[in-house]
Amino acid sequence: MKNAMDLVSAAKARVAEIPVSEADAAIREADVLIDVREESEFANGHLPGAIHASRGMLEFKLSSTPALASRDLKVVLYCKTSGRAALAAAAMQEMGYLNVKSIAGGFDGWVAAGKPVAKPELPSFG
């Protein structure tokens, strides 16, 4: 029986992973940057310009959002460390998406490299 890490390893063998050092250029060239972490993780900080679609809802969001329907979209995905993003990229490939990349090291690698993080503005009730 396969465990989660077996599935991640198999996905990483099939998808394009880019190092954090190449992420800025890939994001600039991409049509969409997708954070596949959970909503609470996204709310605590995310890559600037990212949209949120948790790993568990990704296929449904892609299928129901016309702006994300083109199989020619250039997509960059990330999660906390890269496992969920690799699984998400593999799922997108199975759906027919042709240009999907994930960021090796994920959000943690991005932060460790000192790159900018966006945090949602909280309303002021004062």
Print the SS3 string covering the chain: CCCHHHHHHHHHHHCEEECHHHHHHHHHHCCEEEECCCHHHHHCCECCCCEECCCCCHHHHHHHCHHHCCCCCEEEEECCCCHHHHHHHHHHHHHCCCEEEEECCHHHHHHHCCCCCECCCCCCCC
- The pLDDT tens digits for 106-125 are 999 999 999 999 987 766 67
CA distances from 82 to 4, 7, 16, 23, 95 (A): 13, 12, 12, 13, 20
- Lookup: tokens for 72: 């020619």
5-17 per-position pLDDT tens digit? 999 999 999 999 9
- Domain boundaries defined on the chain: 4-112
Per-residue pLDDT band for 126 (boundaries 50, 70, 90) equals low
Which CATH number, 3.40.50.40, 3.10.580.10, 3.40.250.10, 3.30.70.260, labels domain 4-112? Answer: 3.40.250.10
User: pLDDT per residue over 10-63, tens digit each?
Assistant: 999 999 999 999 999 999 999 999 999 999 999 999 999 999 999 999 999 999
